[in-house]
Structure 1
Amino acid sequence: MSTLRRVVLIDDDQVSNFVCESIIKNDGFADEVYSFEWAQDALEFMQRSSINDPDGFPDLIFLDINMPGMDGWAFIQEYRKLPEHVTCKCSLFMLSSAVDRKDIICAKSHEEVKDFFSKPLSPEILAIIREEFISQ
Structure 2
Amino acid sequence: MLDLILCVDDDPITLMLCKKVISKATFSNTIITAKNGEEALQYLDLILDHKENKLPNLIFLDLNMPVMDGWEFLENFNTDKYAKINNTKIVVLSSTIDPEDLQKSKNYPMVIDFLSKPITTDMLNYLESKI
**TM-score of the alignment, normalized to the shorter chain, above 0.5:** yes
Deviation at 1:51, TM superposition (A): 2.6
Deviation at 1:108, TM superposition (A): 2.3
- Asked whether the 8 Å contact 1:10–1:64 carries over to 2, the reply is yes
**Number of residue pairs aligned between Structure 1 and Structure 2:** 130
Select the residue among 82, 85, 94 that pairs with 1:96.
Answer: 94
- CA RMSD in angstroms comes to 1.4
Select the residue among 57, 60, 63 that pairs with 1:62.
Answer: 60
**Match of 1:86, as an amino acid?**
I
Residue in 2 that maps onto 1:85: 84
Structure 1 runs of 4+ with >6 Å offset: none
- Asked whether the 8 Å contact 2:78–2:108 carries over to 1, the reply is no
Higher helix share: 1
Compute the TM-score of the two structures, normalised by the length of structure 2. 0.92
- Asked whether the 8 Å contact 1:108–1:116 carries over to 2, the reply is no
Select the residue among 114, 117, 120 that pairs with 1:122.
Answer: 120
Which SS does the other structure have where 1:32 is aligned?
A: strand
Compute the TM-score of the two structures, normalised by the length of structure 1. 0.89
**Structure 1 Cα separation of the partners of residues 102 and 82 of structure 2:** 26
Matched, 1:108 2:103: no
State the Cα deviation string for residues 77-118 of structure 1 (Å, max 9, x = none).
111234323222x11110000121111111123222111010
Structure 2 gaps of 5+ residues are none
Select the residue among 9, 32, 35 that pairs with 1:34.
Answer: 32
How many percent of aligned residue pairs carry the same amino acid? Answer: 28
